[in-house]
């Protein structure tokens, strides 16, 4: 992301010094290639490759091209991909195009046995319907989960992981979801450079802010921060099949 163009190496150095790892997310073909290139330089980074539902709308999802990218050993997931009716998808044709783009990526993740990272906004009913139909056996991660407890339970019933981001630290709206989500189905994320948690809200986000998210989860569930940190790292390793290279 361009927000790191001036100090990317400094951010990565801080991550290494503090023992942090991350998955660099692809949102179209070119960014997916860049994600692999960056991840290949560091033993604490991995990559995903995917086509976002409303980024680079002129790009068609070419299964063969993305399959080739996904053959790189640093690629641990397909996505982020999914449905977003907030920024586009206002017509039946747009919704169908998003659905077809998402299903193709979900099927690729299933074939390759890699995790599927889902972006979903204002489209949860359709997403739940699709996931129910697909019956995926590969790990499914609901990225940036900020929904009510009832919605959390629906995704959990399908075997999904819920990945909690910075906004959980500055509102109680998602506390019920945190409470109903079993510890072994939780992930934490920054979605850097966006949505920095308190006390850095309004600033550029970066991976080292994860402890603030972990602290909110721990406080809400009545657990020790160390317990939540250990569990979320183990969950990530299991979902993504992470191995340092």
Query: How far apart are alpha carbons 92 and 58 in whole angstroms?
Result: 17
The more confident residue out of 244 and 232 is 232
Top-tier CATH class for 139-245: alpha beta
The reply to whether 1-85+102-121 and 139-245 are identical in fold is yes
Instruction: Give the helix/strand (H/E) hosting 69.
Output: helix 63-70
pTM: 0.96
Model pLDDT, residue 90? 80
DSSP helix/strand/coil, 138: coil
Enumerate the domain spans of the chain.
1-85+102-121, 139-245
Q: Are 56 and 81 in contact (CB under 8 A)?
A: no
Helix 92-112, helix 63-70: angle, nearest 10: 40
Give the tens place of pLDDT for each residue, 4-60: 999 999 999 999 999 999 999 999 999 999 999 999 999 999 999 999 998 878 889
- Classify residue 34 by its DSSP letter: H
Name the residue among 2, 83, 1, 67 with its Cα closest to residue 29: 67
CATH of domain 1-85+102-121: 3.20.20.140
Where are the strands (E) in the chain, listed by range? 22-24, 45-49, 75-84, 115-121, 140-142, 161-164, 186-188
Burial classification of residue 226, based on how many CB atoms lie within 10 Å of its CB (0-12 exposed, 13-18 middle, 19 or more buried):
exposed
Residue 46 φ then ψ, to 5°: -130, 175
**pLDDT band of 131, cuts 50, 70, 90:** very high
Query: How far apart are alpha carbons 76 and 163 in whole angstroms?
Result: 16
């Amino acid at each position: 992301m361009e927000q790191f163009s001036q100090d990317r190496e400094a951010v990565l150095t801080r991550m290494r010094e503090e023992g942090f790892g991350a998955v660099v997310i692809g949102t179209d073909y070119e960014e997916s290639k860049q994600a692999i290139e960056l991840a290949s330089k560091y033993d604490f980074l991995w990559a995903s490759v995917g086509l976002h539902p409303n980024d680079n709308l002129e790009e068609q999802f070419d299964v063969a091209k993305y399959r080739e990218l996904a053959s790189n050993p640093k690629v641990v997931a397909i996505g982020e991909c999914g449905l977003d009716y907030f920024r586009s998808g206002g017509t039946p044709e747009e919704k169908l195009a998003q659905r077809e783009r998402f299903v193709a990526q979900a099927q690729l993740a299933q074939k390759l046995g890699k995790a599927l990272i889902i972006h979903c906004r204002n489209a949860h009913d359709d997403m739940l319907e699709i996931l129910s139909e697909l019956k995926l056996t590969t790990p499914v991660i609901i990225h940036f989960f900020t929904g009510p407890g009832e919605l959390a339970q629906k995704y959990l019933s399908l075997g999904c992981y819920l990945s909690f981001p910075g906004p959980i630290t500055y509102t109680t709206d998602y506390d019920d979801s945190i409470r109903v989500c079993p510890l072994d189905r939780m992930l934490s994320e920054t979605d850097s450079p966006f949505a920095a948690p308190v006390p850095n809200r309004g600033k550029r986000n970066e991976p080292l802010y994860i402890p603030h998210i972990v602290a909110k989860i721990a406080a809400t569930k009545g657990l020790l921060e160390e317990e939540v940190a250990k569990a979320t790292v183990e969950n990530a390793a299991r979902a993504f099949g992470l191995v340092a290279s």
